[in-house]
Amino acid sequence: MMALRKGRYEVLVAKGPEQIREAQQLRWLCFVGKRSQLEPTDDSIDADDYDDRCTHVLIREIPTGKLVACFRMLTLSGGCEIGDSYSARYYNLSRLLEFDGKMVEIGRFCIHPERQDPDILRLAWGALARHVDAEGVEMLFGCSSFMGTDTQGYEDAFAMLRERHLAPKRWLPRVKAPKVFRFARALKLRKPDPRLAMAAMPPLLRSYLAMGGWVSDHAVVDQQMNTLHVFTGLEIRAIPPGRAKLLRAAGA
């Protein structure tokens, strides 16, 4: 992924352990500190064994140099390598073994809790669009997280996912994790309120869905990360032309 500067922000690939650690500290702040109201220390990082295998992308505020967002990318040559992904730890992705095309798993995406600027997310997608075009990527995927492990308050969001955004059967992930919420089954008769559904939807997931993304029929209850997450896939060829044009403009 090439460097990209736009407005107040720039997108860069992390170089060396110090910059990766900076991303891990921001991840801790977003995934642990914010949710448990803990104060960070020098040792407060979110790290796992996938960090050494991934490309880490940083978004900084140019005037201050402050890290405002980050995510990591794991590139797979095709569905034959889907078992190597982080998502495969939680979902049975055997149906995606047949996907014939380069894939990139997007993980640990987070925006600093003090930053609400929509340009940050817009720039992230612009940078991804540039990367997709340059590398010939045909699918983006990952886990989209809802904060907390209680499903209360998310019923309309999950009902809308069931009604409008389930994965095609040929790619649909099956259950693997020990604790899941089978929302497609549990909310079969619920008619979602679109306003409440979108208000409860994580911003990253909203972006995926706006581009034609799809999700698993169940959410994994992840006690370690204190989240409910759904597998999310986006086939590049399915992105509406108008949306694709906007993404490429953001990455120009």
For each of the chain's 252 residues, which pLDDT tens digit applies?
A: 567 888 999 999 999 999 999 999 999 999 887 665 666 677 889 999 999 999 999 999 999 999 999 999 999 999 999 999 999 999 999 999 999 999 999 999 999 999 889 999 999 999 999 999 999 999 999 999 999 999 999 999 999 999 999 999 999 999 999 999 999 999 999 999 999 999 999 999 999 999 999 999 999 999 988 899 999 999 999 999 988 888 887 777
- Helix/strand/coil (H/E/C) assignment for every residue in 76-97: ECCHHHHHHCCHHHCEECHHHH
DSSP-derived secondary structure letter, 166? B
- Alpha-carbon distance 232 to 213, whole Å? 7
pLDDT of residue 60: 97
pLDDT of residue 2: 63
Query: pTM score, two decimals?
Result: 0.94
pLDDT of residue 246: 82
pLDDT of residue 244: 86
Q: Do residues 105 and 86 make contact, with C-beta atoms less than 8 angstroms apart? A: yes
Cα–Cα separations (whole angstroms), residue 203 to 53, 172, 186, 189: 26, 22, 24, 26
pLDDT of residue 36: 59
Rg (the chain; Cα; Å): 17
